[in-house]
Amino acid sequence: MSKNRLAYFKALGLPAPSTKARTSGTATAETSATAIDHQRQARLAALNRSHEIRQFEIELYWKRATYFWLLQAAVFTALGLIWKDGGKGIPHIIPVALASLGLLTCAAGWLSAQGSKFWQENWERHIDMLEDEFEGKLHKTVWVGRMGVRWSVSNINDRLTLFFGVFWSLVFTVVCFSVVSRWTLRLATSLGEADFTQPAVIGVAVATAGGLFWLYKQKTNLRGSIPDWEAKPQLPKIQSDRPRLLRELHSAPLIVKRGQAE
């Protein structure tokens, strides 16, 4: 068993599969076998738990994604209705605030997706370390067909969210410059001729930047110790197009191992 796998089971607080149960000199073989069976059941329970939480994280990922997409759709609809009516009777700062809310919602959706992916990969890594004893390398083995490696659904959703982030940034910029047609640094000489639209827009812009920074700082608070882990080189990446061997020979699908070398 590799050094990293031993370090993993030590950090997990479970005996490694090859570890014999600790028994006293007078312990019977039956007692030793029972202890080994209990250890194996504990590792199996950890594996089943990892599968369950991984599936739960996948479900939460798409529920959160749907939630943020619906929020953006609602904000965009409200902004579109105001734009269509020409903003009659509505303060100029409202469309600016809506555009800011759309941008913040998009950023929150992207960051939440990154967090969901982090925890999903966490439980996938647990499965990678625990599964060998019970189900072989099922989770670490991928069946690649003749068309080669296909696209990642979560990565596509991630990139699409980034595109919407650029879109909302443009919308926010356009709305700001449409509300304030003439930007000036001149202060009003009297309260009667004062226009608070420009300061309000600047305030919303500053608040938006602060909100983006605040959201970015909301990382998971993890504290603890790092086990004695030996860095391993990454496995060679499987080409994204059709594997050359299969393209030439039209043979059976290719089986590869995913993830990091242990």
pLDDT tens, residue by residue, 8-57? 888 888 888 875 555 555 557 667 778 888 899 999 999 999 999 999 99
Cα angle, residue 53 at apex, residues 148 and 161 outer, rounded to 5°: 55
pLDDT at residue 140 tops 90: no
Residues above pLDDT 90, as percent of the chain: 45
Residues above pLDDT 70, as percent of the chain: 76
Helix axes 197-216, 153-179, angle to 10 degrees: 160
pLDDT tier for residue 260 given thresholds of 50, 70 and 90? low
Count Cα neighbours of 112 within 13 Å in the Cβ-side half-sphere. 19
pLDDT at residue 236 tops 80: no
pLDDT at residue 243 tops 60: no
Query: Does 21 or 92 have the greater pLDDT score?
Result: 92
For the ranges 55-64, 76-85, 227-236, 244-253, the lowest mean pLDDT is seen at 244-253
pLDDT at residue 203 tops 70: yes
User: What span, in angstroms and rounded, lies between the C-alpha atoms of 15 and 31?
Assistant: 17
pLDDT at 137 (0 to 100): 85
pLDDT at 152 (0 to 100): 86
Of 129, 138, 117, whose CA–CA distance to 47 is shortest?
129
Query: Does 85 or 238 have the greater pLDDT score?
Result: 85
The radius of gyration of the chain from alpha carbons, rounded to an integer in Å, stands at: 28
Cβ contact 98:82 at 8 Å = yes
pLDDT at 182 (0 to 100): 65
- Averaged over 68-93, what is the pLDDT? 87
pLDDT at residue 149 tops 80: no
- Residue 257's SS3 state is strand
pLDDT at 19 (0 to 100): 55
Query: Does 65 or 191 have the greater pLDDT score?
Result: 65
User: What span, in angstroms and rounded, lies between the C-alpha atoms of 9 and 226?
Assistant: 13
Name the average pLDDT for the chain: 82
Cα angle, residue 159 at apex, residues 156 and 165 outer, rounded to 5°: 145
- How much is the pTM? 0.79
Query: Exposure pattern of 41-79 as b/e (b: 16+ CB <10 Å)?
Result: eebeebbeebbebbeebbeebeebbeebbebbeebbeeb
pLDDT at 233 (0 to 100): 63
pLDDT at 235 (0 to 100): 61
pLDDT at residue 144 tops 90: no
Helical spans, DSSP H, in the chain: 3-12, 29-84, 93-130, 132-135, 153-179, 197-216, 244-249
Specify which residues 141 forms β-bridges with.
257
Cβ contact 105:208 at 8 Å = no
pLDDT at residue 62 tops 90: yes
- Averaged over 151-175, what is the pLDDT? 94
